[in-house]
Amino acid sequence: MINYKHSFLVVLLLTIFFFSNAQESIYKHYGVDEGLPSSEIYDVYQGKDGNIWFATDKGLSLYNGYEFKNFDINDGLPGNVVLRFYPQTNGQIWCYTYHNQALFYFNETFDGFTAYKYNNRLQKEFSPSSIIKSCFIDETNTIHIGGTNINGELLISKDGEVTKKTY
């Protein structure tokens, strides 16, 4: 004897399953074949203009929704292994390069890259295993830096004076 309630339930569940899987995914995969310089992405930042920046082991990549534009040391980066983005309230986006232990920045309205003028002081204060995890520019243009193997907070004033705060 056929149980019509069970048959109806099975048909209903199969119909729901079929239509729920019919939707297209809203995600799109991008990789080296689509224009990224590397498959190693360390950080992602979306600017106010909608463009998306990728920090990779082969420089920075800018995606405008249609194509990628890639930047490396030939375009003014102090190093190719870019680990992080640190957006600031003044419209600058600061970045950190791993092997050179150097900071640089670019403006929200992109017009090129600028190396931090006191990178040499950073490198003197850092051990080879130091990695910047946070970077903040305050209202006096003092840069506050924290991270792995930094032992507290490193402050560098706009005049290059270095101060350490240990906690």
The pLDDT value given to residue 10: 65
* Residues whose CB falls within 8 Å of the CB of residue 131, separated by 6 or more in sequence, listed in order: 83, 96, 98, 147, 148, 149
The pLDDT value given to residue 27: 73
The pLDDT value given to residue 7: 66
Cβ count near 13 (within 10 Å): 10
The pLDDT value given to residue 25: 66
Nearest to 53 by CA among 74, 29, 37: 37
The pLDDT value given to residue 141: 93
pTM (2 d.p.): 0.80
pLDDT digits (tens, 9 = 90+) for 19-44: 665 556 677 778 888 889 999 999 99
- In the chain, what are the helix, strand and coil shares in percent, each to the nearest 5? 20, 35, 45
Q: Taking a C-beta distance cutoff of 8 angstroms, is the pair 132, 149 a contact?
A: no
The pLDDT value given to residue 94: 97
Q: Which residues of the chain have pLDDT under 50?
A: none
| Structural domains of the chain, ranges and CATH numbers in brackets | 29-165 (2.130.10.10)
Q: How far is CA 116 from CA 2, 40, 54, 77, 110, in A?
A: 78, 25, 20, 11, 16
The pLDDT value given to residue 22: 54
The two tokens of residue 105 are: 């920045």
